[in-house]
Structure 1
Amino acid sequence: MGDDTVPEIFHLYDSFGLQKRPTMRFEADVFECEVEGEIPAELEGSYVRTGGDRQYPSLEDDIILNGDGLVSSFRFENGHVSFRSRYVQTERLQAERAARRRLYGHYRNPHTDDPTVSNLPQRDNTGNTYAFAHHGELFMLREDSRPYRVDPETLETLGEGQWGDLRSTALTAHPKIDPVTGEWWSYGVFAGGEPTTDASLHVFDKHGKLVREQWFHTPFPGLSHDWGVTREHLVFPIMPLTASEARLREGGQYYQYDPDLPSAWGIMPRNGDPATDMRWFHVPGLVLGHIMNAYTDGDKVVVDTPCSPGNCFSFFKDKHGNQPTMPETITQLTRITFDLSKSADEAVTLEPVTGALGDMPRIDDRFAMSKYRTGYFSLRAFPEMGVGQIDWDTGDLTVHSLTGAAAQEPLFVPRSADSAEGDGFILTVVDRFEERRAELLILDARDVSRPPLATVKLPFGLPMAFHGSWIPA
C-alpha cells in the first residue's frame, strides 16, 4: 500500500471502522428509494440501525461515541424499499432542544456539563450503539445505560424499557440472543454507575423478563465493549483501557490506554457463579472491540475476534498522552483458543487470519454460541475496503471490494428460517466518498464477491451507524 494513499483513507475512517465525517443533523423520510437490480422476494421486513450523530455542535476533541442516537430504517415491502431516520429522544437531547444549545460535555464526564443539567440519571444514554430487537420490541442500546424503547415502524421513542429488579445501571451494547431458548444474555461493567471493578451478569427470558443477575469483580476497571457466550461458557474480556473518577474530575478522558497492562479474560461455566467459578487469563499486546462468535469444543473455548496489537480505540490517548499510531490500531480477525485443561500460562493460543483486516463482525445468528462455519466483517485492508467473508472450515477469505467507498457493518439475513448456514443475504450501508451519499448493498451471503443483487440508493450521506438488526415483517 502506498504511504500517500493510507493517510487519506484513514482521514475518513479509522481501522476500528468509525467514520470521521460531518454530522447529518436532520431527520429524513425517503418513500420509494431508487433501486438498481432486483430486491430478493425473501426480504420482507426492516433493517434497523443506530449510530452517533450530533444535534448540536461538538465540543473540542469530542468523539463520535458521544453523539446523539440517530436510528434509521430500511423497510422492505414487496420488492420496494423506503428509508426513515429519527433521533432517539433521550432525556439529554430533549433538555438540549429545550435550551436550544449544547448542555452536556465530554463522553461520560459529567464534570464537563453545564451546571443547569447536573445529576441527570441517564446522562450518558444517547441510544447510539445498537438497534436491538427482542421479544417484539426494539431497543436502542448503549453499554453504560439502560436502553430506550423505539417503535419499530415509526421510530418514535417510547421511553425507557422495563427491567424488573435489575440492579445494574449498565446493559452491554452487545447482548447475545440464545437461538435455542430465545434468552437475552447481557452483562455490564461499572455496573454501579461509577468506574470501579463492579460488574453484573444478567439474563432476560424470551419475553424480556429478568430471570438472573449475579455481581462480580473484574481485575481492573477496564473497557469491555463485547463478550462471548457459548452453550457451556461465558467469556468476559477486559481491555487495558482503564477508567478513573479522579481523571474525570481533572477534565481528562473517560478511558486511558495502558500499554503495560495485559488484557484480562474471565471464563466461567455458563450456569456457574462468577464470584467463585471464574478463571482469569492474561493476554498481553492484544486489544479488541468486537467478537464474531464464541463456542466450546470439549475443554477448549474458542473466541473469534478482530483484535489489534495496540489501542484500536484510536480516539482515546494512552497514559503518556499519546494517540495511537495507525499500525497499532489495525484489527485482524483472529481465533483465540483457551484450553481450560491447561494452566493459565499455557492455555492461550492465537491464530490470526492472513488478510482479514477490519472489524464490525457478524454471523448467521441462528448459529450463535455454537461451532459455526461462516462469518462476515467490514474489510479495512487499507487501501482496499469492502466486505470480507471467512470460511472457518477451509480458511478461505472472500472479499467484495469497493472503489472510493467503504462498507459499514454487514448484517446477515437468512433466506428462510430453515435455510442452511450462510444461505441468505448481507445488507451493508456503503459510503460513497466522492459522491457524498450512501447506499445499501444487498449481497449474496454465500459468496459476497459477486456483484450486488440490488443497490438501494439514497440522495444524501449517512453518519456512521454502529450496529443494527433485521426485523422480519
Structure 2
Amino acid sequence: MTSTILNPYLEGNFAPVPDEVSVGDLPVTGTLPRELNGRYLRVGPNPTGPAATDVNHHWFAAHGMVHGVRLRDGRAEWYRNRFVQGDAPNHSPNTNILAHGGRLLALVEGGRPPVSIAPDLNRMATWDCDGALRGGVTAHPKIDPASGELHSVTYLLRPGSEHLRYVVIDATGKATHTAELPVPGVPLVHDMALTDTRVVVLDLPVTLSMAAAARVASGTPESGGEFPMRWTEEHPSRVGVLPRGGTAEQLRWFDAPRCYVFHVLNAYDNPDGSITMDVCRYDTVFRDEYRGPADVLPALARWTIDPARGTVSEQIMSDHSVEWPRIGPELVGRPHRYGWFGGIGADGLHLSDDVNRVRGGSLEPGPLVKFDTTTGEISTHHFGIGRVTQEPAFVPRPGAEAEDDGWILSVVHDAATDHSELVVLDAADVEADPIARVHLPRRVPFGFHGNWIADNDIGE
C-alpha cells in the first residue's frame, strides 16, 4: 500500500525535532583537521504545536532552531540545538546564521532584525544595530573580505510597502549608510550580490499576494502556516545596479531573464564595465506549489549585466540541478573559478529529468557538487545510499594559495539510522573519501543555511 504524503515539508528529515539537547565528546570517524577551531552552525525552521501537523504548512513559516557543533584541536567537543528566541515572543529567525562585528547573528528576511546568540548557544537577544536594522535584514547579506563591511538589501513583508532598504554596517558593527530604494509590489528579495564597486539588487516576479496575506492576517485555520508570496505574471523581472554606498538616484534597472533566484553564487566586475553574476535560477516558484520552492528544478546560470548596453544575458552553465551555492569567503565580489553546491535528488538530478522525481512537491537534497566555471567540469561526492546533504561551507586552509585549498563541511542525513553527521571533505578533491565524520546524537532537519564560524570571529 502506498502512503499519501500529507505535507512533504513535515515528513522524513523535513520533520521537526521535539526538544533541545546538549551532548559532549562526540565520536569521530577519521581525523579532524586541527586547524578547524570554531563552530559549524546551521539554522532552519522547526514548527511546533498545530503547525507541525498542518497540511497547509509552508517550509518557510516556522520558528527557527539553531544546531551547532563545536570543534577544537582535532576533537568534536559538543553538539547543541536551541530554539532561536529574540526579545519578542514571536521573533525567531530561521534562515541564516553568521558572524559579524564580533556577534553571532541569526537572520530572517521580511522586516525583522537579527537575534544575537552567545557562542555557547544559551543566551539570545534581539540586536537591531542601534535602530539601523529595526526594519529588518536580508537572509543573505554580503561581507566584503577586504573592508569587513556588511551590505544588506531587505524588503518589508507588509501590504503597501513600496521600497527596499539598503544598509551598510562596518566591521565593528556600526551602521555607516542607509538608503531606501523604491520598488512596486513588495517583491520577495532573498539574496543580493556585491562586487568590488557595486551592489546588484534583484526584483523578480514573486510578490506579496494580498489574498494570501489577508488569510494569514485573519488567522483562519485554512491559512495554516501559509507564506503569502506568489508568482506574479504582471511583475517585471529585473536587476538593479548601484554604486556601493549608493542611493536611489544612482540605481539603474535592467530587464532580466524571466525567472526567480533565491541564491547568488557570486558576482564580480569585468574590465569592460560589465558584471558577471552566477545564480541558481527557477523558471517559476510559488506558481504551482505553494508550500515550498518546487515548481521546477533549479539551474545554475551565468548572467552578464552590461550597463553600457542596458542588457542582461544568460548562459545555463550545467545540466545538473544544484542549489545552496557557496564560494570561499575571501572571494566575495571578486572573480571566482569554483563553486560548491548541494545537488538536487539523491542521485543528482539533471534538468532533463522528470520533475516528478522531485519528492512529493519538495526539493529533495542529494550529493555534494563542485563546479568548475572555467572548464565546466562537475565533481560529485555521493555519501552513500540514503545519505544526502544540503548546503556546503568552504573553509580555507590557513596560508592557502589555491582557490580550492581547504575543507568542505556539511551536514549529512542518513535515512537508515535517522541520524546526521558533520562531514569534512577535501575541497580540492570532493570525490575522495571523507577526511572526517562527526557522529551527531540526532538528526538535523533539512533547513536553510549555515556557516563555519572560526573562534577568532566571535571568541568563547
| TM-score normalised by the chain length of structure 1 | 0.82
Equivalent in the alignment of 2:262: 289
**TM-aligned CA deviation for residue 247 of structure 1:** 4.0
**TM-aligned CA deviation for residue 340 of structure 1:** 1.3
State whether residues 12 and 20 of structure 1, in contact with CA within 8 Å, keep that contact through their aligned partners in structure 2: no
1:218 and 2:183 are equivalent in the alignment: yes
Residue in structure 2 matching 1:201, options 152, 157, 166: 166
State whether residues 38 and 454 of structure 1, in contact with CA within 8 Å, keep that contact through their aligned partners in structure 2: yes
- What is the alpha-carbon distance in structure 2 between the residues aligned to residue 57 and residue 220 of structure 1? 31
Equivalent in the alignment of 1:37: 30
Name which of structure 1's ranges 40-49 and 133-142 shifts more when overlaid on structure 2.
40-49
> Could you give the per-residue CA deviations for residues 256-276 of structure 1, whole angstroms, max 9, x where no partner exists?
112454422111222432x21
State whether residues 219 and 264 of structure 1, in contact with CA within 8 Å, keep that contact through their aligned partners in structure 2: no
State whether residues 131 and 138 of structure 1, in contact with CA within 8 Å, keep that contact through their aligned partners in structure 2: yes
**TM-aligned CA deviation for residue 188 of structure 1:** 1.0
**Correspondence 1:141-180 to 2 at 5 A:** 141-144=107-110, 145-152=112-119, 154-166=120-132, 169-180=135-146
Residue in structure 1 matching 2:231, options 234, 243, 257: 257
State whether residues 165 and 210 of structure 1, in contact with CA within 8 Å, keep that contact through their aligned partners in structure 2: no
**TM-aligned CA deviation for residue 21 of structure 1:** 2.5
Equivalent in the alignment of 1:85: 81
Letter in 2 for 1:78: D
Equivalent residue of 1:65, what SS?
coil
**TM-aligned CA deviation for residue 201 of structure 1:** 0.5
Letter in 2 for 1:310: T
Q: CA separation of 1:240/1:19 partners in 2, compared to 1, >3 Å: closer, same or farther? A: farther
Equivalent in the alignment of 1:113: none
State whether residues 53 and 64 of structure 1, in contact with CA within 8 Å, keep that contact through their aligned partners in structure 2: no
Equivalent in the alignment of 1:120: none
**TM-aligned CA deviation for residue 88 of structure 1:** 1.2
1:401 and 2:358 are equivalent in the alignment: no
**TM-aligned CA deviation for residue 434 of structure 1:** 2.7
Equivalent residue of 2:14, what SS?
coil
**TM-aligned CA deviation for residue 349 of structure 1:** 1.4
> Could you give the per-residue CA deviations for residues 195-223 of structure 1, whole angstroms, max 9, x where no partner exists?
52211110011000010001121243211
> Could you give the per-residue CA deviations for residues 319-366 of structure 1, whole angstroms, max 9, x where no partner exists?
xxxx98x6x4211111111111103xxx12111122331211111011
1:369 and 2:342 are equivalent in the alignment: no
**TM-aligned CA deviation for residue 22 of structure 1:** 1.8
1:336 and 2:303 are equivalent in the alignment: yes
- What is the alpha-carbon distance in structure 1 between the residues aligned to residue 416 and residue 442 of structure 2? 12
**TM-aligned CA deviation for residue 245 of structure 1:** 4.4
Equivalent in the alignment of 2:202: 237
- What is the alpha-carbon distance in structure 2 between the residues aligned to residue 129 and residue 229 of structure 1? 20
1:69 and 2:48 are equivalent in the alignment: no
Equivalent residue of 1:389, what SS?
strand
- What is the alpha-carbon distance in structure 1 between the residues aligned to residue 340 and residue 167 of structure 2? 28
Equivalent residue of 1:26, what SS?
coil
Name which of structure 1's ranges 446-455 and 215-224 shifts more when overlaid on structure 2.
215-224
Q: CA separation of 1:232/1:176 partners in 2, compared to 1, >3 Å: closer, same or farther? A: same
Q: CA separation of 1:300/1:388 partners in 2, compared to 1, >3 Å: closer, same or farther? A: same
Name which of structure 1's ranges 223-232 and 275-284 shifts more when overlaid on structure 2.
275-284
Q: CA separation of 1:454/1:8 partners in 2, compared to 1, >3 Å: closer, same or farther? A: farther
**TM-aligned CA deviation for residue 91 of structure 1:** 4.7
- What is the alpha-carbon distance in structure 2 between the residues aligned to residue 432 and residue 132 of structure 1? 26
Equivalent residue of 1:57, what SS?
helix
Equivalent residue of 2:388, what SS?
strand
Aligned residues: 420
State whether residues 206 and 231 of structure 2, in contact with CA within 8 Å, keep that contact through their aligned partners in structure 1: yes
- What is the alpha-carbon distance in structure 2 between the residues aligned to residue 34 and residue 167 of structure 1? 40
Equivalent in the alignment of 1:311: 285
> Could you give the per-residue CA deviations for residues 59-104 of structure 1, whole angstroms, max 9, x where no partner exists?
4411121221111111111211121111112356xx5xxxxxxxxx
1:434 and 2:410 are equivalent in the alignment: no
State whether residues 86 and 124 of structure 2, in contact with CA within 8 Å, keep that contact through their aligned partners in structure 1: no
> Could you give the per-residue CA deviations for residues 261-317 of structure 1, whole angstroms, max 9, x where no partner exists?
4422111222432x2121212234311111111111132111111111121787537
State whether residues 48 and 468 of structure 1, in contact with CA within 8 Å, keep that contact through their aligned partners in structure 2: yes
Equivalent in the alignment of 2:351: none
1:248 and 2:244 are equivalent in the alignment: no
Equivalent in the alignment of 1:116: none
Residue in structure 2 matching 1:387, options 361, 368, 378: 368
Q: CA separation of 1:21/1:271 partners in 2, compared to 1, >3 Å: closer, same or farther? A: closer
| Identity rate, percent | 30
1:183 and 2:183 are equivalent in the alignment: no
Equivalent in the alignment of 2:357: none
State whether residues 87 and 126 of structure 2, in contact with CA within 8 Å, keep that contact through their aligned partners in structure 1: no
1:300 and 2:295 are equivalent in the alignment: no
**TM-aligned CA deviation for residue 446 of structure 1:** 0.8
Equivalent in the alignment of 2:322: 358
- What is the alpha-carbon distance in structure 2 between the residues aligned to residue 8 and residue 422 of structure 1? 43
- What is the alpha-carbon distance in structure 2 between the residues aligned to residue 249 and residue 424 of structure 1? 48
Equivalent in the alignment of 1:103: none
Equivalent residue of 1:66, what SS?
coil
State whether residues 9 and 58 of structure 2, in contact with CA within 8 Å, keep that contact through their aligned partners in structure 1: no
State whether residues 240 and 262 of structure 1, in contact with CA within 8 Å, keep that contact through their aligned partners in structure 2: yes
- What is the alpha-carbon distance in structure 1 between the residues aligned to residue 369 and residue 137 of structure 2? 29
Letter in 1 for 2:121: L
- What is the alpha-carbon distance in structure 1 between the residues aligned to residue 228 and residue 205 of structure 2? 13
- What is the alpha-carbon distance in structure 1 between the residues aligned to residue 307 and residue 409 of structure 2? 37
- What is the alpha-carbon distance in structure 1 between the residues aligned to residue 85 and residue 180 of structure 2? 31
| TM-score normalised by the chain length of structure 2 | 0.85
Equivalent residue of 2:213, what SS?
helix
Name which of structure 1's ranges 427-436 and 240-249 shifts more when overlaid on structure 2.
240-249
State whether residues 167 and 179 of structure 2, in contact with CA within 8 Å, keep that contact through their aligned partners in structure 1: yes
Unaligned runs of 5+ in 1: 1-6, 96-122, 318-322
Equivalent in the alignment of 2:342: 378
